[in-house]
Amino acid sequence: MPINREILSRLLAQLPQPVPRLKDLHIFLHWVIASSDRYAMATFFRPPNAGDTCYQSSYLGDLLGRPVTEIAEMFADSDDALRLGMVKACLNGSLPLPTDIFTANAMDPFTEMVKHCPSCFIGHFTQAEIWRARGYPVTIIELQPRPGDIHWNDSKPALRQAEIVFITGLTLINDTFLEVVSRTPQAKYRVLLGPTVPCNPLFFDYGVHLIGSTLISDVDLAIRYCQHGGTSVRHAPPGALRRISLTNRPELKMEFDRATKQPASKRA
């Protein structure tokens, strides 16, 4: 499904002038890495059991040298996973980074809260599995549910009760993001996270309280990881990628500061 046009238009309006042009492009099994102002990545999402019908064609044409705005207009209305990933990678490498981002895993402030607060994950995150297995009140909602998950079509009751909502960035390209927000009226915190997410305060206007994204720290390491079939930020080689966060809630920033003082084993 295409990218939400309102959100896309507002993001494109923030691009620097002159508009950055695509300088370099790498397409892998799971990722798109593109360079305009800087190298950035986006998830190359392939739905389970999609076969070869998932993509129109793996050839995007010769895009090098084209303005990011032109690439966005070419592909934003596509229902093709590769082309939508391309738009996100270009945006992530072109939008100015806020000065108040900080290095952190966006789940760190919630390690205590999820023990007693009803929480929903939109998307199947590894950390959600860990917390759910410990008996915490965690629900996983998916379009392709695994055992124990709830299908998106049956998710309204769980979302209505959720106090903490973790939203995968893939909702931005399957047009479910705004519906997630509308289905979670009791949410104290909504967290939008994933390497596909532009780390941009625009999402605070839509009811998000914390944004978690990923920057490429070492391009050569990141490309080598992707060339060898790397699938997640979690397993990337040290120094290749950097998890960053941005929040409009001071209490969450305080929780980040507290969490970083604990051993990693206690934050899991």
pLDDT digits (tens, 9 = 90+) for 23-40: 999 999 889 999 999 999
Model confidence over 50-84: pLDDT tens digits?
A: 544 445 578 899 999 999 999 999 999 988 888 99
Model confidence over 197-236: pLDDT tens digits?
A: 999 999 999 999 999 999 999 999 999 999 999 988 989 9
Average pLDDT on 237-247 reads 97
pTM of the model: 0.92
Alpha carbon 174 to chain centroid, angstroms: 12
On average, the pLDDT of the chain sits at 91
DSSP one-letter code for 108:
G
Task: Provide the strand spans (E) within 6-46.
Answer: 24-27, 31-35, 39-43
Tell me which amino acid residue 177 is: F
Query: What is the predicted pLDDT for the residue at 196?
Result: 85
Query: What is the predicted pLDDT for the residue at 156?
Result: 96
Measured between alpha carbons, how far is 115 from 6 in angstroms, rounded to an integer? 36
Measured between alpha carbons, how far is 38 from 19 in angstroms, rounded to an integer? 13
3-state secondary structure of 61: coil
Query: What is the predicted pLDDT for the residue at 190?
Result: 98
Which band of pLDDT confidence, cut at 50, 70 and 90, is reported for residue 162? very high
* 16-to-20, 41, 147, 216, 217 alpha-carbon distances in Å: 7, 19, 45, 20, 22
State which fold the 5-92 domain adopts. Answer: Enolase-like; domain 1 (3.30.390)
Measured between alpha carbons, how far is 59 from 46 in angstroms, rounded to an integer? 16
Q: Where are the domain boundaries for CATH 3.40.50.11590 in the chain?
A: 102-263
Query: What is the predicted pLDDT for the residue at 53?
Result: 47
Higher pLDDT, 53 or 266: 266
Average pLDDT on 176-187 reads 96
Q: Where are the domain boundaries for CATH 3.30.390.100 in the chain?
A: 5-92
- Cβ burial 113-123 (10 Å sphere, 16+ → b, else e): ebeebbbbbbb
- Predicted confidence (pLDDT) at residue 48 exceeds the cutoff of 60: no
- Predicted confidence (pLDDT) at residue 243 exceeds the cutoff of 60: yes
Query: What is the predicted pLDDT for the residue at 267?
Result: 55
Average pLDDT on 151-167 reads 97
Measured between alpha carbons, how far is 252 from 1 in angstroms, rounded to an integer? 33
- Predicted confidence (pLDDT) at residue 181 exceeds the cutoff of 50: yes
Residue 135 in tokens: 């008996």
DSSP one-letter code for 21:
B
Cis peptide upstream of residue 96 (ω within 30 degrees of 0): no
Residue 227 in tokens: 């060339």
Q: Are 249 and 257 in contact (CB under 8 A)?
A: no
Which band of pLDDT confidence, cut at 50, 70 and 90, is reported for residue 175? confident
CA-nearest of 226, 194, 236 to 29 is 226
For 190-243, the DSSP string reads EEEESTTS---GGGGGGT--EEEEEEES-HHHHHHHHHTT---STTSPTTTEEE
Give me the residue label for tokens 């379009």. Answer: 143
CATH class of 102-263: alpha beta
